[in-house]
Structure 1
Amino acid sequence: MRPPDWLHTVDHSGSGAIHEIECTSCLAGSGPADDMDAPAVWALRHARRTGHTGYRRMVTDFQRAPASDG
């Protein structure tokens, strides 16, 4: 008997993707959010306040590797 095959899939059982923006000049960050709106507003306000123009956008999603029946 062979071992089960494994699949790598998006985990839909919890929250969706988590979004965050980080300033590449000072490393200040927006904090995590369920959508991109709040981090984007944070980045625009931070840019206006500091003059910093470079940002790193991070999106984290969750995966599972359940065994398949095949």
Structure 2
Amino acid sequence: MSAVTGGKVVYRYVDHTITEHPDTDVTLEAQCLHCADESGPQAAAEPVDIWCLRHTGRTGHAGFRRLCTSFAMVVRNETT
């Protein structure tokens, strides 16, 4: 951020941190790379892994895209 005061440019730097948004949950899911079937969003990895294993058992498809979705927010670090 900069501001011009009396012909001078003043720069102010403020430290920030990025973190997971406290009002949201992380979701995980998988998509088969062969047929595009999907596990659907889950709150934990284990149900997604089980879905992949069962899908492979039923179809023989062994490749999956695994997705992890979270929401982030940037907060200003407190100065001491």
Q: TM-score range by the shorter chain?
A: 0.7 to 0.9
Question: Which residue of the other structure, out of 17, 20, 45, is the alignment partner of 1:11?
Answer: 20
Q: TM-score, normalised by structure 1?
A: 0.79
Structure 2: 5+ residue stretches without partners: 4-10
Aligned-residue identity in percent:
29
SS at match of 1:65: strand
Q: Partner letter of residue 39 of structure 1?
A: V
Structure with higher RCO (Cα < 8 A, 6+ apart): 1
C-alpha contact 1:7 1:66 (8 A) present in aligned 2: yes
User: Which whole-Å CA distance do the structure 1 matches of 2:61 and 2:41 have between them?
Assistant: 20
C-alpha contact 1:6 1:65 (8 A) present in aligned 2: no
Residue in 2 aligned with 1:59?
A: 68
RMSD: 2.1
Larger of the two Rg values belongs to structure: 2
Count of residue pairs the alignment pairs up: 70
Q: Tell me whether 13-22 or 60-69 shows the greater mean CA deviation.
A: 60-69
